[in-house]
Amino acid sequence: MIFRRAKLRLAVSYAAVQLLLFAAFGLGIYAYVTTAFDYDVAEGDSAVLTAEAGFANLRNGILAAYVALVIVIPVTSYLLASLAMRPILASFEAQQRFIDDASHEFRTPLSALQAQLELGLSRRRSIPEYRTLLDHSLHSAAQLNEILDDLLVLSRGAHDTNIAMRKVEVSSIISDAIGQLTPGDAARVLRATAADLVVTVAPSMLSRAVVNLLTNALRYSPTDSPVTVSVSRRGGSARIVVEDHGSGMTRQERDLAFDRFWRADTSRASEGRGLGLSIVREIVNLHGGRVDLDSELGIGTRASVEIPLSR
């Protein structure tokens, strides 16, 4: 309803401005023609009558054209207003979806935290029972903190100019990312040898992007299937590729994979929140790079990140 009223107001504004401009233009033409004609030069009454008839035809023509514009311009103005409002409406809908999804993600740990606290206060308990409830509550609080950290990265994104950059070897970024995985997951990661490449980045942020890619690859591939991470040079960039042989994605899922809070239907029950790839994209954009996703259903997924080399 708000957007409909805004569209109508915008259309009325467009129409009013155009009609005023055309009215001024028509009056200007008529005034110029009538004042430019010199009656003193005209010889005889017939010449004056001919000039006045020409003025009348011009006046009638301008009025007829203006009446046609009064009919046509409101329609074109409404179409222009619809085109102008389309990206605003799309942005509003995306923001609304983001708020709904964020509320849903917050509600789950908050509900668990509230239930655990209410259970602890329902009756007297032993110290081990209180410790168990506190451990569960702490886990829920940690989940809330992780969601807030992820949203902070997404909100700041490429606008954060206070991040310290330094030169670092890509191999050390890969090692740090693998070191953040659990021992079982780290054992499934295979590293391909590559030349030493140096990039100017925020090491912790780029490491987080690689961790997210590795986590997704490990989560959606069989437990006995390895995940390969390789580093190579491509033009003036260092290319990091994470490849798995898991379930893969359809073309439509691949197009939506970088949307915030989006998860495939088959992964709704997983522990992920649908922010991993969104964070990867924001981090890569922050470093002036690019990220691509190549996936085929039932075969696997290849995620590649390119970061400009230090010069």
For residue 213, give both structure tokens: 């890619």
Count Cα neighbours of 269 within 13 Å in the Cβ-side half-sphere: 1
CA distance 293 to 271: 21
CA distance 227 to 245: 7
For residue 200, what is the enclosing H or E element? strand 198-201
One fold for 100-159 and 166-308: no
**Closest among 227, 257, 253 to 242, alpha carbons compared:** 227
In three-state secondary structure terms, 124 is: coil
For residue 22, what is the enclosing H or E element? helix 2-36
pLDDT confidence of residue 122:
85
Alpha-carbon radius of gyration of the chain: 33
Give yes or no for a contact between 287 and 306, defined as CB atoms under 8 angstroms apart.
no
Give yes or no for a contact between 201 and 240, defined as CB atoms under 8 angstroms apart.
no
| DSSP summary character for residue 123 | S
In three-state secondary structure terms, 304 is: strand
| DSSP summary character for residue 242 | E
Per-residue pLDDT of the chain (311 residues; tens, 9 = 90+): 777 888 888 889 999 999 999 989 888 888 887 777 655 555 555 666 777 777 788 888 888 988 898 899 999 999 988 888 888 888 777 777 667 666 766 776 788 788 888 888 888 888 888 888 888 888 788 777 777 776 776 666 545 556 678 899 999 999 988 888 888 888 999 887 666 889 988 888 888 889 889 988 898 888 888 999 999 888 889 999 999 988 888 887 777 777 766 666 544 445 555 677 888 888 888 888 999 988 888 888 999 999 998 76
Q: What class, spelled out in words, does domain 100-159 have in CATH?
A: mainly alpha
Q: What residues does each domain of the chain span?
A: 2-94, 100-159, 166-308
In three-state secondary structure terms, 294 is: strand
CATH of domain 166-308: 3.30.565.10
pLDDT confidence of residue 47:
62
For residue 70, give both structure tokens: 């009064």
